[in-house]
Amino acid sequence: MCERATIVMGVETSCDETGVALVEDGTRILSNVVASSERFHRRFGGVVPEIASRKQVEVISAVAQDALEQAGVAWPRLDAVAVTYAPGLVGSLVVGVGFAKAIAFAHSLPLVAVHHIEAHIYSHFLATGSQPGKIGKIGTGTDFRRNQEPVPIFPEFPFLALVVSGGHSDLIAVRAHGDYELLGRTRDDAAGEAFDKGARLLGLGYPGGPAIDSAARGGDPRAHELPRALVPGSWDFSFSGVKTALARYLRETPQAERLSTEDLAACYQEAVVEPLVGKSVAAAQTLGFDRLMVGGGVANNTRLRRVMAERAREAGIEVRFPPPELCTDNAAMVAAAGYFRYRRGEVAGLDLDAYASARV
């Protein structure tokens, strides 16, 4: 007889997204609904926390209903509810945590608390059947050969995880499920924050990462040298210097003498990508990791994917990126991380709180 699968509902509201997903056995996505309030923030050039949390309160019930309907699953079939409790915008986290607690109480479900960075790491454990052609292309760890049935190839432990997002640039040693050691982090701006601020300086709009990524395609990354902060003697990163250098260049160079926006975008992108790749590959080599799992919104950067893949190949390190929709914030990764915690019996109480910052 087949054992009944465990279905976990994931809830993610750490920034401007409202995500609810249903995931089976921590690996198979049944549904993954993400509503973004991005368009309401655009004219302010960045996320306005108050707007984000108000929109989340408005839509979270409908997003959860959608996730259930898309999966064809009813409330009584759920086994647990997992929620991001930290880190992020506290007003937004509170919405997700409050919602998940209400669900847990009303449906007598175990509640599981998930750290947002841990969730990004678990995006590598997911397989999705929705777009087999698209997913599985760039070392996603998903094998589609058997009758187009997505079969997740779990990353083997131990591995090194690089989580690069709007709020984080963390290098983490992952030795087993739930066993994390933070090796390096940013000393100032996160990589995504650097992209967003750089795009703003270049007049490329918000969100800046994808805008710089596409502008840079038409530019020469060697047209102008921007500084790379190496932070010697540690695995930490620093990205505020490159932003300041770009601001100074724009201030001191008359419009007529400036490089094109495409060239500047390419040079700026290179100055963010280079230390991410250099440090991650060097850390893997020095510390003896054969595998490197990259995640977070910045993992969608085309140049990062290409340079990281090349450099890792040269160093004999396996590198994987999740499919694009699992790099940016989503609730499927929260459900995946939650499932493995739930299996270990790590259940939270209904007094669970939200925290703007917390260590993974």
Chain residues binding Zn ion by CB under 5 A are: 165, 329
The entry of ligand KG4, Zn ion, none that residue 159 binds, CB within 5 to 8 Å by partner kind: none
Torsions phi, psi for 50 (to 5 deg)? -65, -40
Tokens of 53: 């949390």
- Closer residue to Zn ion (CB): 110 or 167: 167
**Which residue of 10, 184, 208, 221 would you call a contact of ligand KG4, by CB under 6 A?**
208
| Beta carbon of residue 165, minimum distance to ligand KG4 (angstroms, whole number) | 3
Binding residues with ligand KG4: total (CB under 6 A): 19
Q: Going by C-beta distance under 8 Å and a sequence separation of 6 or more, which residues neighbour residue 60?
A: 11, 13, 18, 20, 95, 96, 99
**Which residue of 166, 198, 219, 323 would you call a contact of ligand KG4, by CB under 6 A?**
166
Does 167 bind ligand KG4 (CB under 6 A)? Our answer is yes
**Which residue of 136, 275, 296, 338 would you call a contact of ligand KG4, by CB under 6 A?**
296
Query: Segment near ligand KG4 (CB under 6 A), from 23-31, 63-71, 137-145, 159-167?
Result: 159-167
Torsions phi, psi for 178 (to 5 deg)? 80, 5
Q: 141: helix, coil or strand? A: coil
> Do 10 and 73 meet the contact criterion of CB atoms below 8 Å apart?
no
Please state, in angstroms and as integers, the Cα–Cα distance from residue 212 to each residue in 197, 201, 202, following that order.
Answer: 10, 11, 9
Is the bond leading into 227 cis (omega within 30 degrees of zero)?
no
Q: Going by C-beta distance under 8 Å and a sequence separation of 6 or more, which residues neighbour residue 302?
A: 213, 217
Q: Going by C-beta distance under 8 Å and a sequence separation of 6 or more, which residues neighbour residue 15?
A: 47, 52, 88, 89, 92, 166, 167, 329
| Beta carbon of residue 51, minimum distance to Zn ion (angstroms, whole number) | 18
The entry of ligand KG4, Zn ion, none that residue 360 binds, CB within 5 to 8 Å by partner kind: none
Does 195 bind ligand KG4 (CB under 6 A)? Our answer is yes
**Which residue of 192, 219, 221, 323 would you call a contact of ligand KG4, by CB under 6 A?**
192
Distance in angstroms (rounded) separating the CA atoms of residues 314 and 107? 52
Query: Segment near ligand KG4 (CB under 6 A), from 164-172, 237-245, 313-321, 347-355?
Result: 164-172
- Closer residue to ligand KG4 (CB): 285 or 302: 302
Does 219 bind ligand KG4 (CB under 6 A)? Our answer is no
> Do 317 and 285 meet the contact criterion of CB atoms below 8 Å apart?
yes
**Which residue of 329, 333, 341, 348 would you call a contact of ligand KG4, by CB under 6 A?**
329
Catalog residues that contact ligand KG4 under the rule CB under 6 A. Answer: 15, 165-167, 192, 195-196, 207-210, 213, 296-298, 300-301, 328-329
